[in-house]
Amino acid sequence: DAMVIQNPRYQVTQFGKPVTLSCSQTLNHNVMYWYQQKSSQAPKLLFHYYDKDFNNEADTPDNFQSRRPNTSFCFLDIRSPGLGDAAMYLCATSALGPSGAYEQYFGPGTRLTVT
């Protein structure tokens, strides 16, 4: 089945220690997104790639970076995690459908704990 895969599902890192979260997709979608979701809140878009073009949200901290080496893979790098960065990180993908809409497909998420 075509899908969005996130690894690992659970990640524990230390305060200030860089961490990388991974996302891969078999949908061949050209748009990939990273969201941060804190407890009982809606997902918050951090950035997205439209093909190779990187688009950062205005309020995304500089501590968060991303790489997309090819269509299938996208990485989220947190350079110096703080306690406030503990959250669920969701990867999503989309492509233009026949109706003209971009329908987003989400991965299962990575739960990040910062100790």
Partner 1 sequence: AQSVTQLDSQVPVFEEAPVELRCNYSSSVSVYLFWYVQYPNQGLQLLLKYLSGSTLVKGINGFEAEFNKSQTSFHLRKPSVHISDTAEYFCAVSRSGGSNYKLTFGKGTLLTVNP
Query: Per rule CB under 8 A, is residue 101 in the interface with partner 1?
Result: yes
Residue 28, both tokens: 């061949």
Nearer to partner 1, 80 or 109 (CB): 109
43 binds partner 1 (CB under 8 A): yes
Q: Does residue number 28 form part of the binding site for partner 1 (CB under 8 A)?
A: no
> What is the three-class DSSP state of 17?
coil
Count the alpha carbons within 13 Å of 100 in the hemisphere toward its beta carbon: 0
- Binding range to partner 1, per CB under 8 A, among 14-22, 61-69, 72-80, 84-92: 84-92
By CB under 8 A, residue 31 contacts partner 1: yes
Q: Are 92 and 32 in contact (CB under 8 A)?
A: yes
Nearer to partner 1, 92 or 114 (CB): 92
* Nearest Cα to Cα of residue 11 among 84, 112, 94, 115: 112
83: burial class by Cβ within 10 Å (0-12, 13-18, 19+)?
A: exposed
* Stretch of residues binding partner 1 (CB under 8 A), selected from 11-19, 44-52, 65-73, 76-84: 44-52
The values of phi and psi at residue 45, to 5°, are -70, 125
Residues that bind partner 1 (CB under 8 A): 4, 6, 31, 40-43, 45, 48, 50, 88, 90, 92, 94, 96, 99-109, 111
